[in-house]
Structure 1
Amino acid sequence: MTKSRSKQLVICVDNEGYEASLEKRKIYVTLRDPAADKLGMLRIVDESGEDYLYPKAFFREIALPLAVKRAVLAA
């Protein structure tokens, strides 16, 4: 599996209580975490460059053409 397929891109639609860590309308990378998913959370690489759990309701999945997704993940 390629690196770009193992990560999902999402866009932040809410950051209430996490204003210092998340920016609305910004694209974030999620890391697969089945345990977090069961709790309604996503593991997000945030502004600090580290991954943390955030409420899944704060994000919407986005689908991008593969070339664009690769470019976003490489940035």
Structure 2
Amino acid sequence: MATNEKKQLPFAVCISNEDYPASLEVGKLYQIIPDETAESHGYIRVIDESGEDYGYSRDRFFPIQIPAALQDALLKAA
């Protein structure tokens, strides 16, 4: 059966930028890039302020689910 549902991309809000003030902004929403190796070590990979993806400690972020329409708007704006 075919489905029209889009895959929900994970996002997270930064809750701590200690030691990384130029790379992360507290309160900002970041796209998470799935990375099983990073996750197994307590890290998540996000696209940071440099525009590149880097691994940061998971405890710096609060993961959230966002509606598909908002996800589309955010990705188009990026």
Q: Could you state the TM-score of these two structures normalised by the residue count of structure 2?
A: 0.85
Look up the match of 1:51. 53
Contact 1:7 1:32 in 2 (8 A): no
Unmatched segments (≥5 aa) in structure 1 = none
Q: How many residues align?
A: 72
- Paired residue type of 2:22: A
* 2:56 partner SS: strand
Look up the match of 1:10. 12
Unmatched segments (≥5 aa) in structure 2 = 1-5
* 1:24 partner SS: coil
Tell me, yes or no, if structure 1 residue 68 matches structure 2 residue 63: no
The alpha-carbon deviation at position 63 of structure 1 amounts to 1.6
- Paired residue type of 1:44: V
Look up the match of 2:34. 32
- Paired residue type of 2:50: S
- Please identify runs of 4+ aligned residues in structure 1 that moved more than 3 A: none
**Greater C-alpha Rg:** 2
Q: Could you state the TM-score of these two structures normalised by the residue count of structure 1?
A: 0.88
When the two chains are superposed, the root-mean-square deviation of aligned CA atoms in Å is: 1.3
- Paired residue type of 2:7: R
- Paired residue type of 1:34: E
- Decide which structure has greater helix share: 1
Query: Aligned equivalents of 2:61 and 2:69: distance in 1?
Result: 22
The alpha-carbon deviation at position 6 of structure 1 amounts to 6.1
Query: Aligned equivalents of 1:40 and 1:51: distance in 2?
Result: 16
Kindly provide the CA deviation profile for residues 30-74 of structure 1, in whole angstroms up to 9, marking residues without a partner as x. Answer: 101000000000111000100111000000111211111111122
